[in-house]
Amino acid sequence: MVRDPRYDVLFEPVRIGPVTARNRFYQVPHCNGMGHRRPQAEAASRAVRAEGGWAVICTQECEIHPSGEVTPSIEARLWDDKDIPALALMTEAVHRHGSLAAIELVHNGPSGANRYSREVPLGPSHQPAGRWDPVQARAMDLADIRAYRQWHRDAARRAKTAGFDIVYVYAGHDLSLPMHFLQRRRNDRSDEYGGSLENRARLLREVIEDTKAEVGASCAVAVRIAVDELLGADGIASADEGRDVIEMLAELPDLWDVNVSDWDNDSLTSRFGQEGGQEPFTAFVKQVTSKPVVGVGRFTSPDTMVSQIKRGVLDFIGAARPAIADPFLPKKIEEGRLDDIRECIGCNICVTGDRFAAISRCTQNPTMGEEWRKGWHPEQVPAKTSEESILIAGAGPAGLECALALGQRGYQVHLAEAGTVLGGRVVLESRLPGLAAWIRVRDYRLQQLDKMTNVEIYRDSRLTPEHVLEFGAARVVAATGGTWRRDGVGRANWQAVPGLETSQVYTPDDIMAGAMPRGPVLIYDDDHYYMGGVLAEKLRAGGLEVTLATPAPSASAWCDYTLELAHIQKRLLEAGVTILPNRRLVALHEDRADLACVYTGALSQLACAALVTVTARLPNDDLYRALIAQDEGLKEAGIESVTAIGDALAPSTIAAAVYAGHKYARSLGTEPDGKIAFKREFPG
Q: Residue 611 sits in which domain range?
A: 486-617
Same domain, residue pair 201 and 258: yes
CA angle, corner 553, sides to 551 and 559, nearest 5? 100
Rounded-to-integer distance, Cα 664 and Cα 650, Å: 15
Check 170, 411, 444, 530 and give the catalytic one. Answer: 170
Indicate if the pLDDT at residue 672 is higher than 90. no
Rounded to whole angstroms, what are the CA distances from 502 to 55, 66, 358, 486, 590?
60, 59, 42, 10, 9
CA 674 to chain centre: 32
| 430: CB partners within 8 A, 6+ apart | 436, 437, 438, 439, 442
pLDDT band at 453 (very low <50, low <70, confident <90, very high): very high
The overall longest dimension of the chain from CA atoms, in Å, is: 86
Beta pairing class for 505-506 and 610-614 = parallel
User: Cβ(419)–Cβ(480) under 8 Å?
Assistant: no
313 close to 227: Cβ distance less than 8 angstroms: no
d(CA 413, CA 391): 6
Q: How far apart are CA 419 and CA 423, in angstroms?
A: 10
- Indicate whether 118 pLDDT > 70: yes
Identified catalytic residue from 36, 173, 414, 567: 173
- Residue 674 pLDDT level (bands cut at 50, 70, 90): low
Say if 680 falls within a structural domain: no
Quote the CA–CA distance of 368 and 60 in Å, as a whole number.
15
CB-CB neighbours of 112 under 10 Å: 28
pLDDT digits (tens, 9 = 90+) for 280-314: 999 999 999 999 999 999 999 999 999 999 999 99
Cα-Cα-Cα-Cα dihedral sign, residues 138, 144, 148, 151: negative
80 is catalytic: no
CB 39 within 8 A of CB 89: yes
Q: Provide the 10 A C-beta neighbour count for residue 70.
A: 24
Indicate if 41 and 148 belong to the same structural domain. Answer: yes
pLDDT digit string (tens) for 373-417? Answer: 999 999 999 999 999 999 999 999 999 999 999 999 999 999 999
The phi and psi torsions of 405 (rounded to 5 degrees) equal -70, -40
Q: How many residues does the chain have?
A: 684
DSSP H or E run through 302: helix 302-310
Spatial separation of the C-alpha atoms in residues 331 and 52, rounded to whole Å: 6
Give the pLDDT of residue 673.
62
Is there a catalytic annotation at residue 170? yes
Residue 504, domain CATH: 3.50.50.60
Q: Is 152 a catalytic residue?
A: no
Q: Which of 266, 315, 354, 527 is catalytic?
A: 266
Asked if the peptide bond before residue 366 counts as cis, ω within 30 degrees of 0, the response is no
Report the 10 Å Cβ neighbour count for 239: 11
Residue-wise pLDDT tens digits, 618-667: 999 999 999 999 989 999 999 999 999 999 999 999 999 999 999 999 99
The answer on pLDDT for 131 being more than 90 is no
In this structure, what is the dihedral angle of CA atoms 607, 611, 615, 620, given to the nearest 10 degrees? Answer: 170
On whether both 583 and 476 belong to a single domain, the answer is: no
Q: Is the peptide bond before 520 cis (omega within 30 degrees of 0)?
A: yes
- Is residue 379 assigned to a domain? no
Classify residue 366: in a domain, yes or no. no
Concerning whether 589 is annotated as a catalytic residue, the answer is no
Distance CA 112, CA 65 (A): 12
**Residue 90: band (very low, low, confident or very high) from pLDDT cuts 50, 70, 90:** very high
User: If you average pLDDT over residues 159-182, what whole number do you get?
Assistant: 96
Which of 7, 26, 31, 560 is flagged as catalytic? 31
Rg of the chain on CA atoms, in Å = 27
* Same domain, residue pair 446 and 518: no
CA distance 553 to 550: 7
Yes or no: say if 562 and 269 are a contact pair by the CB < 8 Å rule.
yes
Q: Is the pLDDT of residue 684 over 70?
A: no
Q: How many domains does the chain have?
A: 3
Cβ pair 558, 529 in contact under 8 A: yes
Residues 512 and 656 in one domain: no
pLDDT band at 239 (very low <50, low <70, confident <90, very high): confident
* Residues 6 or more apart whose Cβ sits within 8 Å of residue 308: 276, 279, 295, 297, 299, 314, 317
Query: Do residues 608 and 662 share a domain?
Result: no
pTM for the predicted model, two decimal places: 0.96
Say how far apart CA 228 and CA 558 lie, in whole Å: 27
- Closest Cα partner for 296 from 287, 273, 98, 310? 273
Residue pair 270/289 in contact (Cβ under 8 Å)? The answer is no
Mean pLDDT of 137-144: 97
Contact 403, 449 (CB under 8 A): yes
CATH of the domain at 458: 3.40.50.720
What average pLDDT is seen over the chain? 96
CB atoms within 10 A of CB 674: 4
**Rounded (5°) CA angle 406-408-412:** 50
The DSSP output letter for 482 is: E
CA gap 236, 659 in Å, rounded? 40
Distance in angstroms (rounded) separating the CA atoms of residues 317 and 301: 11
Specify if 631 maps to a domain. yes
- Three-class secondary structure of residue 45 per DSSP: helix
Are 285 and 294 contacting, i.e. CB atoms less than 8 angstroms apart?
no
Per-residue confidence band for 562, with pLDDT thresholds at 50, 70 and 90: very high
For 545-598, where are the E strands, in sequence order?
546-549, 578-580, 583-588, 592-597
pLDDT computed for residue 671 by the predictor: 72
Domain shared by 559 and 659, yes or no:
no
Give the pLDDT confidence of 19-57 residue by residue, as tens digits.
999 999 999 999 999 999 999 999 999 999 999 999 999
Q: Is 591 helix (H, G, I), strand (E, B) or coil?
A: coil
CA distances (Å), 196 to each of 201, 252, 528, 622, in order? Answer: 9, 20, 45, 69
Residue 641 main-chain phi, psi, to 5 deg: -155, 150
Write the CATH number for 77.
3.20.20.70
Closest Cα partner for 559 from 545, 546, 543, 548? 548
Asked whether residue 474 carries a pLDDT value surpassing 80, the answer given is yes
Do residues 610 and 634 share a domain? no
User: For residue 112, what is the enclosing H or E element?
Assistant: none
State the pairing for strand pair 641-644/505-506. unpaired
pLDDT tens-digit map of 512-559: 999 999 989 999 999 999 999 999 999 999 999 999 999 999 999 999
As a whole number of angstroms, the distance between CA 323 and CA 34 comes to 16
- Taking residues 148-165, what's their average pLDDT? 98
| Residues 592, 648 within the same domain | no
Please state, in angstroms and rounded to a whole number, the distance separating the CA atoms of residues 122 and 107: 9
- Cβ atoms 426, 397 nearer than 8 A: yes
Question: Which of 589, 617, 645 lies at the terminal end of a domain, its last residue?
Answer: 617
Between CA 59 and CA 222 the distance in angstroms is 13
* pLDDT at 233 (0 to 100): 86
Answer whether residue 672 is part of any domain.
no
DSSP class of 8 = G
Same domain, 542 and 625: no
- Contact by Cβ (8 Å): 173, 226: yes
Catalogue the E-assigned strands of 250-310: 255-260, 293-295
pLDDT tens profile 91-101: 999 999 999 99
In a domain, 673, yes or no: no
Is 588 part of a structural domain of the chain? yes
Residues 441 and 455 in one domain: yes
Q: Which helix (H) or strand (E) holds 24?
A: none
Note whether residue 380 is domain-resident.
no
Residues 242 and 266 in one domain: yes
**pLDDT of 1 strictly over 80:** no
600: pLDDT strictly greater than 70: yes
The pLDDT of 96-119, averaged and rounded, is: 96
